[in-house]
Each structure stands twice: as C-alpha cells, then as structure tokens.
Amino acid sequence: MLTVRISSLLRLRFMFGMLIALPLASCGLRPGNDVSIPAGFKGWVTIRYNDAGSPPLRRAGLRPVINVPWTGEVLTSSRRSDGYGVDHFYFVTQDGKRTPIKEDSHGCPESEQCIQQFEYYSSPHQATVFFVGAKHELNGYKRPELK
C-alpha cells in the first residue's frame, strides 16, 4: 500500500514538473543580460539590435553585457536572443560600484528607482525599451519612438 502511494506521488510530481517545464521549453531559454546603467540616470533606455555599423555586445561567460550610456540609447550589431532569461540591472558609479536595480514586475515601492514598462519590439527594428526611475517620474519622460 505504501509503495503504491509513493509511486502515485512520484508520478504526480513528475506530471506537475512537466506542466511547468513544457511552456518554458516551448518559448526557449536564453542567458539573461547584465545591464549596467550610470548611477543617477533617469529616463527611457532603448537597446537597438542588428545595427550593422555598431559593435557587438561583449559577454561575461554566456551573458551579454549591455553598458547604457547617459543618452539612454544602445546600438549593437548583435541580435537579440529569443526566449526566457533573467536579466540583471545595475546602477554603476564612476568608480565601478554596482548596485542592483529592482524590476517593477518584482514589486517596486512608489518612490524607489526601478525598471518599468519593459517591452520588446520586432518591428520596425528589433529593440528593447524600458524606463528607469520612480513610478511617479514616468509621466515626465517621453517614450522614445522607434524609427
């Protein structure tokens, strides 16, 4: 009787695991990006991919490294990886100190600086756009247009 119950529990656990894993596998997995943003930056960030005249992104291991300048616009010849990955965002001081930035999807208090309005675009250009700042600051900055 105990053997049947354990077997049933293992089978149920396997089926539950497959229900979780299949949707992720169908989307694909990618290494997440490491995104460095100048400490004190507020505003929109645009990362445009497949820009022939721009340098490729460098990598730290498998993870693409994206260094956002004060303009908030990054151009790269690299292609954006498809699939699900966990990106890491950091404020970086001039002396190289990195402080993690929360994402709004993980909960961000109203007055705290965080990553918000994160969107992927495939047309007219492959791009990623997001806002850096507190929630109450969002309306003070115009969303960039992709041309």
pLDDT at 85 over 90: no
Pairing of strands 114-121, 102-103: parallel
Kindly report the pTM of this predicted structure.
0.78
Task: Look up residue 52 and give its amino acid.
Answer: A
Q: Name, in order, each residue with C-beta under 8 angstroms of 102's C-beta and a sequence gap of 6 or more.
A: 108, 112, 114, 115
Q: Percentage of residues in the chain with pLDDT exceeding 90? A: 56
Whole-angstrom Cα distance, residue 122 to residue 80? 10
Q: Please name which of 97, 58, 90, 103 lies closest in space to residue 76, comparing C-alpha atoms.
A: 58
Q: For residue 137, give the DSSP letter.
A: G
Q: What is the distance in angstroms between the CA of the first residue and the CA of the last residue of the chain? A: 67
For 32-41, how does the pLDDT look when each residue is reduced to its tens digit (9 = 90+)? 999 999 999 9
Domains of the chain by residue range: 1-30, 31-140
Identify residue 59 by its one-letter amino acid code: R
